Amino acid sequence: MDDYWSIVDAIVGRRRGTKATRYRFFKLLWDLIDDGRRLVILRAPPGAGKTEAITAPFLLDLVKGERRWLSLIHVLPTRSLVNSMELRHAEAIEALNIEPVIVTHDYGELFTEKVYLDGDVVVTTYDTLLYRFYGMRVPGHHILTPFSKV
């Protein structure tokens, strides 16, 4: 658990210049993830560190050069949140000096050619993720993401 805290402290210290508050849900969440739990619903108030709590295991694996997961897909309701979270993830990775890591976004922009939902860290919207499952997309070139990635 101390390894996870080192990740959270590095990210929060870089962004806010403070130490993270050690809420009880951090340990509970990390224990569930380490026990192989595939679905965890985390409810906590705004600013409690939900993003850092859920990304710490993935980022720690990157720091150690390991991969329990192919990628991290962070799903949010709006494009503006996707844009700000993409930057936040990039800053966290920079704070940890992890290279090379691809941080990208996907929210169904028009007239772009790219492999959708591809990258080490992908931030997307709910509707875009659902459209990928059904092969629906605005006109243009794209490659469907395999279900195994999600």
Walk along the chain (150 residues) in steps of 10 and give the mean pLDDT of each run. 91 82 92 92 90 94 91 91 93 91 78 64 86 62 56
Give dist(CA 26, CA 1) in Å, integer.
9
Q: Are 120 and 143 in contact (CB under 8 A)?
A: no
**What residue type is assigned to position 110 of the chain?**
L
Quote the pLDDT of residue 138.
54
Give dist(CA 110, CA 77) in Å, integer.
18
Quote the pLDDT of residue 115.
54
Strands (E), the chain: 72-76, 103-106, 114-115, 121-125, 142-143
**What residue type is assigned to position 67 of the chain?**
R
